[in-house]
Amino acid sequence: MPHFLDTLPFDWSRPESRELHDFLAGIHFREGPVVEFAVRAGVKPATVAWDRPMHSVWHDLITKARNQNRLHALLEQVAENDEAVALRLRELMAAEPVVEAPAAVDSGVVWKGFDARQAWERQIFDEPTLLDVAFMRRGVELAPAVVRLLVTLESGRAYGTAFRIGEDLLLTNHHVLYDIGPGPDPDPDPGPGPGPGPRPATRVEAWLHYELDTAARHRAQTVVRCRPETITGDPVHDWAVIRADGPLPDDIPVVELADAEPVSVGERVSVIQHPNGGVKKIGMHHNIVRHVDDDVIQYWTDTEAGSSGSPVFNERWQLVGLHHRWVAVEEFGKREFRNQGRRISRVAEGLASAGVL
């Protein structure tokens, strides 16, 4: 029997074929990189049915690559510069491919609702949701960068969230660090011209490590004073920065503002935050991006009061947004609530224009 990679037409009835397909679709479920693999492998891209769910795209791409005698070249491109992927592909390309252990013929165990014709494991929904454990590890590495702010304004005290973007620099929202209400003693006859405008906070504290440990006990947080005279912000794009009174500890990482890949509708974003002024939490359930434009990202990821100023990360833990509010929109005749963040590219432009970075 020929190796499954050498069958022509490609034999989709073989378990190795299905495992190859599911493996590739599980690790590369964005179209852009897959198109590049195909082009570099010499597959004629015009013959592939793109713009469909990636499970369907991979099915068609594997079939077309085999028809054009470019399947091995395609797999070489996928494996290039990724040793973990290359290892699994080498197992499948071996003379005796390594596949899932066969299910027991008769184990004596009766599964409720189980049909013997069905698979033992499967992906339940169309979109793959399995994540590498490195996803959790990277999130834990970045989490200390997120801090709780305790802000004193003319109108009272408030809380919010911020995160480290420089040696002593914290980024949050304009509405967190500026008082937009009337002053305590407004002039009864201010005369012509604009009002006094937003007034920066008079005192700011950053609470580091305000979170629970693995035993659900409060960690000993560190309170760092910040310098209100360094506050700079933009009310239009709702960002503001403040400098700590000295360098922040080394265990507080810097979140890079470097350009991330553009986030798209249907992708997922996570928000590390201090909801309701409480301990640090992460929003990452039903976290689908619902809208993207040049200025904002809208998503279903949960936030609460006090989450303003939180970082919004994509699935690769790249910073893509600065969370600042919730919005209500009309979608297909129904009202839909979403959370919203400012595109980090817009914030970075403002920081550069202000000479902050």
Amino acid (1-letter code) at residue 228: P
Give the domain ranges of the chain.
1-95, 140-244, 267-354
Give the mean model confidence (pLDDT) for residues 172-184: 81
Q: Please give the Cα distance from 43 to 78 (Å, whole number).
A: 13
Tell me which of 29 and 90 has the higher pLDDT.
90
What digits encode the pLDDT tens for the residues 106-140? 545 555 555 545 544 555 455 667 788 899 999 99
Left, alpha or beta for 288 (phi > 0: left; psi -120 to 50: alpha)? Answer: beta
**∠ CA 168-171-174, rounded to 5°:** 130
Mean pLDDT of 43-70: 93
**Residue 202: predicted pLDDT:** 96
| pLDDT for position 112 | 54
Which pLDDT does position 191 carry in this prediction? Answer: 44
**140-244 and 267-354 share one CATH topology?**
yes
Mean pLDDT of 146-158: 92
Look at residue 34 in the predicted model and tell me its pLDDT. 94
Q: Which CATH number fits domain 140-244: 2.40.50.140, 2.40.10.10, 2.120.10.30, 3.30.70.370?
A: 2.40.10.10
Mean pLDDT of 193-202: 73
What's the confidence (pLDDT) of residue 183?
52
Query: Across residues 196-224, what is the average pLDDT?
Result: 90
Q: Name the band, by pLDDT with cuts 50, 70 and 90, for residue 220.
A: confident
Q: How far is CA 46 from the centre of its chain?
A: 32
Per-residue DSSP letters for 162-219?
EEE-SSSEEEE-HHHHEE-S--SS--S---SS-----EE-SEEEEEET-SB-TTS-B-
HSE-up of 175 (CA within 13 Å, CB side)? 14
Write down the mean pLDDT value for the chain: 87
pTM of the model as a whole: 0.73
Determine the pLDDT at residue 234: 95
The percentage of the chain sitting over the pLDDT mark of 90, rounded to a whole number, equals: 60
Q: How far apart are CA 177 and CA 242, in angstroms?
A: 8
Q: Which residues pair with 169 in a beta bridge?
A: 243
Report which of 246, 157, 245 is spatially closest to residue 201, judged by C-alpha positions: 157
Q: Is the pLDDT of residue 259 over 90?
A: no
More confident residue, 237 or 118: 237
**CATH value of 267-354 in 3.40.50.300, 3.30.200.20, 2.40.10.10, 3.40.50.1100:** 2.40.10.10
Q: Is the pLDDT of residue 228 over 90?
A: yes
Question: What is the mean predicted confidence (pLDDT) over 262-274?
Answer: 93
Give the pLDDT confidence score for residue 246 in this predicted structure: 87
Q: pLDDT higher for 224 or 216?
A: 224
Give alpha helix (H) positions in the chain.
15-27, 31-41, 54-67, 71-79, 83-93, 133-142, 174-177, 344-353
Provide mean pLDDT across the span 35-56: 93
Q: Which of 29-43, 105-119, 166-180 has the lowest mean pLDDT?
A: 105-119
Residue 30 has pLDDT above 50, yes or no: yes
In tens, the pLDDT along 280-338 reads: 999 998 899 999 999 999 999 999 988 999 999 999 999 999 999 999 988 778 899 99
pLDDT interval class at 22 (50, 70, 90):
confident
Question: Could you report the per-residue pLDDT of 86-109, keeping only the tens digit for each?
Answer: 888 998 899 988 876 654 445 455
Q: What pLDDT does 205 receive?
A: 95
